[in-house]
Amino acid sequence: MNTLKYRIDPGNPDLNILEIVARDLKKGELVVFPTETVYGLGASAFNEAAVKKIYEVKGRPHDNPLIVHISSINQLEDITVGTGCLSPEKFRKILEKLWPGPVTFILERKAHVPPQVSAGLPTVAVRFPAHPVTRKLIELAGVPVVAPSANLSGRPSPTEEEHVLEDMDGKVKYILLSGSTPLGLESTVLDLTSSSPRILRPGPISVEKLREILGTDVEIPESARGRKSEKVPLSPGMKYRHYAPTKPLLLVEGELTEEIMKRLPQKSIIICSKETASNLREYPTLIWGSKNDLFAAAQKLFSLFRDAEKTDAEIIVAEGVEEKGLGLAVMNRLRRAASRVIYNR
């Protein structure tokens, strides 16, 4: 397929182009577009053939459900039933605080939403993205849009233009390019269908922030930390190895020292903070920024995975971060990408 590629300025989106793309999106074509988290691969949520194509293009397992993206809070009524474990008043309040933005809610699915959207589950994931290009595109399409991250299944999510071109060029009708995605990690997924709110995937909106806004506890199951211990995955997507670079990734939780590096027989490339890099001058490194700058770590992580693959190293060594705030989301991605973990605390 000849993919049409357009560069769209997020500060001043070209509406003529977006109108053409939105019309085709509504008709059933696939469109790759930027969001504030990562690039997404979009299809009309109510077009079953288009939803099916998403699974084919990504090579996505059929039991891994999709997120429905909307362009106004009112659209939620078309997709979900009720407000789960929250009172309608409380739910409304948190929506007003968090949407549009990088948080996805799981609620009961309305019967007319095609079951393929949710991989047959009685629930459905919904997000109202904040990125101006995403908002405008969905608004012009006039339909809710399902959009997984625009990577081939199992690959790191795309956060740069070149990543979407690597994975999606020739497979979809349109690719919209708007530079780096601002946050770099996928949305926080909050399940409201259990007896109390629980995190299925940590993301840019931290658990601490959610607890503060909700005024209640928010459960963090072990699987949300990215550890591979849970026997029955709560979120179907959690059981697959994810975000994995093409080279083995060794995660070091705790201090990444020269002693650890000396013991590794393979040629390596290290993903780490600038402080750690300055202690490991003899080794090649890819740096996200300062140790305490978790925002930078989140924004660059997937991109550094792809950069590391392109070096001649045999393995990737990654430095872990503290599991606080955004650190929980960073550690979830690192642990799930890792083929081995060393604990050095």
Q: Which is nearer to ligand TXA, 200 or 301 (CB)?
A: 200
133-134-138 Cα angle (round to 5): 120
CB 71 to ligand TXA: min, Å: 13
Q: Find tokens 């429905």 and name the residue.
A: 68
Between 134 and 149, whose beta carbon lies closer to Mg ion?
Answer: 149
Q: Are 164 and 67 in contact (CB under 8 A)?
A: no
- Whether the Cβ atoms of residue 188 and residue 202 lie closer than 8 Å to each other: yes
Using CB atoms within 10 Å of the CB of residue 33, give its burial: 0 to 12 exposed, 13 to 18 middle, 19+ buried: buried
Sign of the torsion angle spanned by Cα atoms 97, 35, 136, 11: positive
Which position has the token pair 């799981």? 106
Q: Which does 38 bind (CB under 5 to 8 A by kind): Mg ion, ligand TXA, none?
A: ligand TXA
Residue 132 interacts with, from Mg ion, ligand TXA, none (CB under 5-8 Å by kind): none
Least spacing, CB of residue 45 vs ligand TXA, in Å: 12
For ligand TXA, the closer of residues 173 and 274 by Cβ is: 173
Tell which positions 211-240 bind ligand TXA, by CB under 6 A. 235-237
Neighbours of 301 (CB within 10 A): 24
Task: List the x/- string, 280-309, binding to Mg ion by CB under 5 A.
Answer: ------------------------------
Contact positions with ligand TXA (CB under 6 A) in 292-311: none
Q: Which of 25, 57, 106, 271 binds ligand TXA (CB under 6 A)?
A: 106
DSSP codes of every residue in 80-133: EES-TTS-HHHHHHHHHHH-SSSEEEEEEEPTTS-GGGGTT-SEEEEE----HH
Task: Tell me how far apart the alpha carbons of residues 23 and 315 are, in angstroms, rounded to a whole number.
Answer: 45
Q: Does residue 83 belong to the site contacting ligand TXA (CB under 6 A)?
A: no
Question: Which residues, numbered 100-159, are part of the site for Mg ion (CB under 5 A)?
Answer: 149
Interface residue list for Mg ion (CB under 5 A) = 149
Interface residue list for ligand TXA (CB under 6 A) = 35, 37-38, 40, 64-67, 102, 104, 106, 118, 121, 123-125, 127, 129, 147-149, 186-187, 189, 200-201, 235-237
